[in-house]
Amino acid sequence: MIIRSLFLAAALALAGCAQINETKKAHELARTQGKFKVRLTNDMESVSGRCKFVRNLVPDDEPGFRPTEAELPDYFRTEAVYNGADTVVVRGRVGEAYICGAAPLNPDGSRKTLDAGPH
């Protein structure tokens, strides 16, 4: 019973480490490649009614990292593409991420393919 519990704990730890590594890789791709595919705008009307809201981006809520004013555009672009968005409406130090294209973005900036599935 103890061996089984230890094996299970080790398997869960490895799965957790693998998940963390994948997250780090995805963030790195978003930071180095994908952010260049994200459009920043102040025009709320450009997304109103034609784009899908993804999430709010609030850099001041980031634990351990508060981007400066100069770092905000990169922060917004990186976090947006990491979450699949291609457009960010910027309002001061807060951004609203949207998907305005045909499909969400991958962290590298390419469009996710929408599989039709079996017919």
- State pLDDT tens for residues 33-92: 999 999 999 999 999 999 999 999 999 998 888 899 999 999 999 999 999 999 999 999
> Is 109 a domain residue?
no
Tokens representing residue 8 in the block: 């299970």
pLDDT for 64? 83
> Is 88 a domain residue?
yes
> Is 115 a domain residue?
no
**Total tally of structural domains belonging to the chain:** 1
**Which band of pLDDT confidence, cut at 50, 70 and 90, is reported for residue 13?**
low
> Is 93 a domain residue?
yes
Query: CA dist 1 to 7, 10, 86, Å?
Result: 10, 14, 50
> Is 6 a domain residue?
yes
> Is 92 a domain residue?
yes
pLDDT for 2? 67
Cα–Cα distance for residue pair 76/11, rounded to 1 Å: 35
pLDDT for 111? 93
> Is 111 a domain residue?
no
User: What pTM did the predictor assign?
Assistant: 0.78
Structural domain range at position 36:
2-99
> Is 20 a domain residue?
yes
- For residues 115 and 60, the model is more confident at 60
Least confident of 27-31, 53-57, 93-97: 27-31
Length of the chain: 119
Query: CA dist 53 to 27, 37, 56, Å?
Result: 20, 17, 9
Cα–Cα distance for residue pair 66/62, rounded to 1 Å: 6
Cα–Cα distance for residue pair 21/30, rounded to 1 Å: 14
